[in-house]
Amino acid sequence: MNAKIVALLIVVGFVGMFNVATAADPLCSLEPAVGLCKASIPRFASVGGKCQEFIYGGCGGNANNFQTQAECEAKCG
């Protein structure tokens, strides 16, 4: 009986985690992309649900690229 309750709680926990992860904008789950150019521009990207600084090359890349940490957090949490 206890094993069934524990299993149910685990399943509910995983479903809850999945719903939180999918609530954010899909661009927030893209891997940070440096791009093709050789500049060295500090930017922020969502990595694992947290906004972290990375170095952007100046061209290319993807939409998971924000000028400020505040902008990243507003979009991706």
Measured distance CA(69)–CA(49) in Å, rounded: 13
Cα–Cα separations (whole angstroms), residue 72 to 8, 28, 40, 45: 35, 9, 19, 6
Domain, as residue range, for 7: 2-76
Check which CATH number belongs to the domain holding 7 and give it: 4.10.410.10
What per-residue confidence (pLDDT) applies to 31?
97
Summarize the confidence of residues 39-56 as an average pLDDT.
Answer: 98
Q: What is the pLDDT of residues 4-41, one digit of tens each?
A: 655 555 655 655 555 454 457 999 999 999 999 999 99
Query: How many domains, the chain?
Result: 1
pLDDT interval class at 43 (50, 70, 90): very high
* b/e 52-73 (16+ beta carbons within 10 angstroms → b): eebebbeeebeebbbeeeeebe
